[in-house]
Amino acid sequence: MPARGQLTILALWSAAGGAVVLITMLATNPAAIGPVGVTVWFVLLLSVFASVLTLAMYAVKAYFHLHATRQQRLRYSLRQGLLVAGWVSGLLALASLGQLGVRDVILLGLAAVIVELYVRFRWP
């Protein structure tokens, strides 16, 4: 699929998923949807946040003319968007469980940096 089609799918998912996340945040609470519902909500939040970040990073990379092709730009943006979204979603999930401390933020941040550096040096 060409990059333009993938970007369209990401934009549609960002709008639809973002609306679902916002509606569930306003219309219900964690006690009403239960543990499975909360897990599904965080997975949905992760995917929406990743798609929004991917689109934003793609726009910035296109503006600065980074990477040779649209497909490369999209691939790198998707990888970085997933990494940042996973980090933020993990922090939010730990905070909602009451398990977030300063050391957790530092450790998860270091893990994200290590993954980024490893992939950056190993990525074709």
Compute the Cα dihedral for 115, 55, 9, 68 and give only its sign: negative
Q: How far is it, in rounded angstroms, from Cα 110 to Cα 101?
A: 14
Per-residue pLDDT tens digits for 36-94: 999 999 999 999 999 999 999 999 999 998 888 899 999 999 999 999 999 999 999 99
| Rg of the chain in Å (alpha carbons) | 16
Going by C-alpha positions, the residue among 58, 60, 52 that lies closest to residue 15 is: 52
Whole-model pTM: value is 0.87
Per-residue pLDDT tens digits for 88-114: 999 999 999 889 999 999 999 999 999
Domains identified in the chain, total number: 1
Helix residue ranges per DSSP H, the chain: 3-27, 30-63, 70-97, 102-122
The range of the structural domain enclosing residue 49 comes to 3-122
Indicate whether 32 pLDDT > 80: yes
Q: How far is it, in rounded angstroms, from Cα 49 to Cα 47?
A: 6
Side chain identity at residue 17, one-letter code: G
Q: Tell me, what's the pLDDT at 68?
A: 84
